[in-house]
Structure 1
Amino acid sequence: MVKKLLLAFGVMALLFPTLAFAADEATVPQLQSAIDAVWVMLAAILVIFMQAGFALLEAGSTRMKNAGHVAGKTILTFGLCAIAFWAVGFGFAFGDGNAFFGTTGFFVTGLEDQAAASFGSLSFSDVPIGIKFLFQLAFAGVSLAIAWGGFAERAKLPVYFIFGILFTVVIYPIVAHWVWGGGWLSKLGMQDFAGSTVVHLQGATAALVATILLKPRIGKYNKDKTPNLIPGHNQVLSVLGVIILWIGWFGFNPGSTLSAMNDGFFGYIALTTNMAAAAGGVAALIISWMYFGKADIPSMLNGVLAALVAITAACAFVDTWAAIVIGAVAGIVTFFTAQWFERAGIDDPIYAFSVHGIAGIWGTLSTGLFATPELSAKVGVGGAGLFYGGGLHQLGIQALGVFGALAFVLVLSFIILGILKATVGLRVTEEEEIIGLDLSEHGSYGYPEQMKKAAQNGVSV
């Protein structure tokens, strides 16, 4: 009897590690899925928090009499974007369909049966569809926030309602489908890891169209067409906004892996993102110092943002040294294009097209120059760039993607805003613009005490 018990214990002792190992083997995929889901949810929160960065940056970069309006419309338009993207935009962007737009997955349920039937382009990740939706919604919200830069300080509030919904439904998701949803640019192998074209160029192009159709702010240009400086009312708010955006970008770019378990690759993407931003800020400050004779803080802030925009496409495809080059070039090019647009009579209050458009174009093209064969193979998109033996093939695909997206958004934005201008109108009255949109559109100032004192003293703010 004793011998039998000892034998039984011995067998159990031998089997237990095996059984425990088998249980661990079965648990690993579940654990990986759970960690990926938490990571993507965190990344979505970081990207949504970028709305706070935009609110502070834009409010600080505009005049005091418009600060409450500029900050408050951030909440309004993200709410509109969330509803429109849930109902239609997400399906157009990521639903199964044709080479140009998705035709399934509208009115997102958050249930996996809808995901299995409708979202084949997102099937590479086991993250629940509800979290994937929130992550992609955050990107759509950022693109729309960029577009509003061209409307600042002179657009009617109803325009934000109408154009915000239409941008989220018929503009942004179409290009997103082309590149990320299995569309024609995706099939060609376009490299835009986190959206230099999909997010930033789209928003910037809409901003440019708005800037042209709305025309300059009162007092921006003299009779001889020379520009006047209209400084923002609070550089501290602008700096804080850029810091928040910089931090939010660690959700934007690394989060686009949709996985935390892929050899820690999201950490490498965070590294290239950060180095580009640092180089862009430093380069822009130095070039402004040389150009103006003074180190210009707004130029430095724009340099950081331009570098972040540029590295957004390239962050997963390029070496760290190339990320620094991409960021520095973006900061310098954005500085000079901002000066050129202003002299050309284009009053872009937040420099949306220079920061997000020009830098978005450069960033998208840069992968066609600097993408390494090893990283391209790791991501599984496209091939090596020109400087790594890939010839002009990848660069040509990148250029085609830029041209296609730019032309599409340009045409549709002109059509939509042109119709709005001919019907409800785009711009507030001259009197409303002079007193400020805080009071004319909302009935109260963001800075009531300061504005009251300024009015009593006859000071323009």
Structure 2
Amino acid sequence: MSAEINELAYALDTFYFLLSGALVMWMAAGFTMLESGLVRAKNTTEILTKNISLYAIACIMYMVIGYNIMYGAGVTSIIPSASLILGAADNSAAAIAAGSDAYYSDISDFFFQVVFVATAMSIISGAVAERMKLWSFLLFTVILTGVIYPVQGFWSWGGGFLDEAGFADFAGSGIVHMFGAAAALAAVIVLGPRKGKYGPNGEVKPIPGTNMPLATLGVFILWLGWFGFNGGSELKVSDVDSANAVALIFANTNLSAAGGVVAALITAKLMFGKADLTMALNGGIAGLVSITAGPDVPSLLAASLIGAVGGVLVVFSIVGLDKLKLDDPVGAISAHGTAGIWGLLAVPLWYDAATFGAQILGIISIFAWTFGASIVLWLILKAVMGIRVTEEEEMQGLDITECGVEAYPDFTKTQ
């Protein structure tokens, strides 16, 4: 009877892992819709092409080398080991019956982890929208998903030096979201702003997106997918404690997003005199990112407040980056980076075992590695093949110049 119970738990936890991964995979659609709505019509097809391509590349590269770097034995706690091609070996019910402590399929773990990698890369896509060469972006995707992401993932989730130091990041406020924002920041610095975004005296000129309903749908899709992102990170659901933890994680994730929306909306009204939809959308994402580092402990009220702080911070961060002439068309660096840092720093407020020292070490280590490796790679790509389209191509729109297909052929205007 014990073996039968173990097999049932194994099957249930594996299915829960796979279902959670499928929800996270659906976040790729959310990022795609959000970015498509916040860029001009003439750049929509290129955004769609980037997002489906980066997802496919991430899956292949993480299988070829990334997963083995992130979860290999490691040469040291800082330097990971590497081997090619993830095998198909898996745990089995027989191993469980024989006393193995594994409680879900190895391949389900790979599937769950690979969709996280794609999420990190999707963050960069929106930040460089409307002026980056498609093939330079895709080549960067190969290196980031195959090497840059797995190295810092090894330091934390793979049992490296950050894990040994007590760094706590339950589902990836730093490991996934701040990571993606750091790589995006490096790209934005090297790439430069869109033509016409900033005036000669530093004034910011809004460049409206083409489809606000689509952008809003994208955020709702991300909100839904985040239940798999955070809930799946509990890793199991087959016992009472785990089931209760998953319920709390779902509720906290939902309330933190809600707090982010409301706080960002109020902040925008106070600052601009208008209920800015784009700020509300980014407030929701900021709330989701903020709770991701520790959704399994705070009370429901505390989760709402964590999200609300993230919602306020994202508005100020977006405005601040514009003042620095760092052009991020969708607010990705702020929603994932600024909120990600806040989420990591909030963890010691609720986790007795976590310390601010370990969290700060994690923030500095992940940011320094990601930003440093990314900016070197962007500079190499710029020197070798260029990363920015010409001024004429930017004016015409990347749909025609990069993809040859317009998303809205009856309505597109160059501007």
Under a length normalisation based on structure 2, what TM-score does the superposition of the two structures give? Answer: 0.95
Asked if the contact 2:290–2:306 (Cα under 8 Å) also holds between the matched residues in 1, the reply is yes
Q: Which AA in structure 2 matches 1:400?
A: L
1:193 aligned residue (142, 154, 170):
170
Partner of 1:19: none
Asked if the contact 1:368–1:396 (Cα under 8 Å) also holds between the matched residues in 2, the reply is no
Does 1:239 pair with 2:219? no
Does 1:359 pair with 2:339? yes
Partner of 1:425: 386
Partner of 2:305: 325
Distance in 2 (CA, whole Å) between partners of 1:166 and 1:317 is 35
Partner of 1:370: 350
Does 1:397 pair with 2:358? yes
Q: Which AA in structure 2 matches 1:252?
A: F
Asked if the contact 1:277–1:304 (Cα under 8 Å) also holds between the matched residues in 2, the reply is yes
Q: Which runs of 5+ in 1 are unaligned?
A: 1-22, 115-122, 374-382, 385-393, 455-459
1:255 aligned residue (232, 236, 254):
232
**What do the CA deviations read for 1:194-226 (whole angstroms, capped 9, x no partner)?**
000000011001111111111010110111121
Q: Which runs of 5+ in 2 are unaligned?
A: 93-99
Partner of 1:314: 294
Asked if the contact 2:91–2:102 (Cα under 8 Å) also holds between the matched residues in 1, the reply is no
Partner of 2:260: 280
Query: Whose radius of gyration is greater, 1 or 2?
Result: 1
Structure 1 pair 69–130 and aligned structure 2 pair: CA distance change class (3 A): same
How far off its partner does 1:407 sit? 0.7
Q: What is the root-mean-square deviation of aligned Cα atoms in Å?
A: 1.5
Under a length normalisation based on structure 1, what TM-score does the superposition of the two structures give? Answer: 0.85
Partner of 2:81: 103
Does 1:344 pair with 2:324? yes
How far off its partner does 1:260 sit? 1.1
Deviates more, 1:148-157 or 1:230-239: 148-157
SS of alignment partner, residue 124 of structure 2: helix
Identity of aligned residues (%): 40
**What do the CA deviations read for 1:261-307 (whole angstroms, capped 9, x no partner)?**
24212111111111111101011011111111111111000000001
Map 1:48-447 to 2 at 5 A. Answer: 48-97=25-74, 98-103=76-81, 106-112=84-90, 125-263=102-240, 264=243, 265-371=245-351, 373=352, 383=353, 394-447=355-408
Distance in 2 (CA, whole Å) between partners of 1:196 and 1:440 is 36
SS of alignment partner, residue 162 of structure 1: helix
**What do the CA deviations read for 1:151-194 (whole angstroms, capped 9, x no partner)?**
21111111122100110122111111111001001111211000
**What do the CA deviations read for 1:363-414 (whole angstroms, capped 9, x no partner)?**
011002232x4xxxxxxxxx05xxxxxxxxx111101100111111111011
Distance in 1 (CA, whole Å) between partners of 2:91 and 2:272 is 59
Partner of 1:37: 14
Q: Which has the higher contact order (CA 8 A, sep 6+)?
A: 2
**What do the CA deviations read for 1:59-84 (whole angstroms, capped 9, x no partner)?**
00000000111122111111111111
Deviates more, 1:262-271 or 1:94-103: 94-103
Structure 1 pair 262–102 and aligned structure 2 pair: CA distance change class (3 A): farther
How far off its partner does 1:343 sit? 1.4
Distance in 2 (CA, whole Å) between partners of 1:158 and 1:212 is 19
Partner of 1:20: none
